[in-house]
Amino acid sequence: MIESSTRSARPGDLDAVLAFWKTAAEGTSISDDRAGVERLVARDPGALILAEQAGELVGTVIAGFDGWRCHLYRLAVHPERRRQGIGSALLAAAEERFVRLGGRRGDAMVLVRNETAHHAWRAAGYAPEEKWRRWTKPLTD
Ligand SMILES: CC(C)(COP(=O)(O)OP(=O)(O)OC[C@H]1O[C@@H](n2cnc3c(N)ncnc32)[C@H](O)[C@@H]1OP(=O)(O)O)[C@@H](O)C(=O)NCCC(=O)NCCS
């Protein structure tokens, strides 16, 4: 197994990250474009964490802390590199960041039908809270 390491994304990584999500992530979101990820990295440098194996991008997670909550997004590992502990390493790096910044509880939105993700989140110590439902409103056209 090739050794993997994690680091914060830099502005020069963003095109590769967007391309990576097309093959590795579950679904896409309204922020999935160059302007969206640029804004993330500009506003919260360190929030986008990458995993690499021999310099190749193999995983991502967004660990966003707004001073109040610790939100996890875009946990994704290259389809050919799964079950090697990369997802766990990304979550460990995210949690380290949260604790360093004063965060107290990690929080992730996980699709009900995404059973693989359920296994991974549970293995990392997360559990669902069935009493909540996501409420949203589009702010742009
Ligand atoms: C979810 C995902 C990020 C997990 O990444 P990963 O690098 O394969 O995870 P790890 O190797 O660190 O797995 C950690 C543990 O999670 C559990 N797990 C992970 N994938 C699993 C699977 N397919 N089936 C059962 N258990 C699984 C296991 O307990 C595993 O430990 P083990 O391999 O020692 O048994 C990866 O499957 C992925 O990118 N999926 C598509 C994107 C996605 O759905 N992301 C989540 C959005 S909420």
pLDDT, tens only, 56-89: 999 999 999 999 999 999 999 999 999 999 999 9
Check residue 55 and give left, alpha or beta (phi > 0: left; psi -120 to 50: alpha): left
The ligand 1 atom nearest the CA atom of 86: 7
12 C-alpha to ligand 1 centroid (Å): 27
pLDDT digits (tens, 9 = 90+) for 118-138: 999 999 999 999 999 999 999
Residue 52: strand pairing partners: 5, 57
Residue 62 Cβ contacting ligand 1 at under 6 Å: no
Please answer whether residues 20 and 58 qualify as being in contact, where contact means their C-beta atoms are separated by less than 8 angstroms.
Answer: no
pTM greater than 0.75: yes
Cα–Cα distance, 117 to 121 (Å, whole number)? 6
